Amino acid sequence: MTKVVRFTASWCGPCRVLAPIFNELAAEFASRASFETIDIDENPEYAAANRVTSVPQIIIFKDEKESQRYIGVKPKATYIANFNAIL
């Protein structure tokens, strides 16, 4: 089971930039992974448990283990190329 988690915060400008890209990726890769968004202010324990110290951040979990981590906003093409290789 593969899960892609986006860590975000309501006050984060780059998080707002990443949101539509993440939603498009979720639609495109829905058959290969589940996608979830976590607000670090609402879920600080989960963010801390995953060593999230800055947002936006995307972590890919394969079989509940971290497989890949992206910090900051990347071009959509970068995510697509990496997701195709990983998922």
Among residues 26, 27, 17, 36, which one has the least CA distance to residue 75? 17
SS3 content of the chain, % helix, strand, coil (to 5): 40, 30, 30
- Indicate if 59 belongs to the active site: no
Given the residues 4, 15, 33, 47, select the one marked as catalytic: 15
Given the residues 5, 9, 12, 25, select the one marked as catalytic: 12
One-letter amino acid of 8: T
- Indicate if 12 belongs to the active site: yes
Active-site annotation, residues: 12, 15
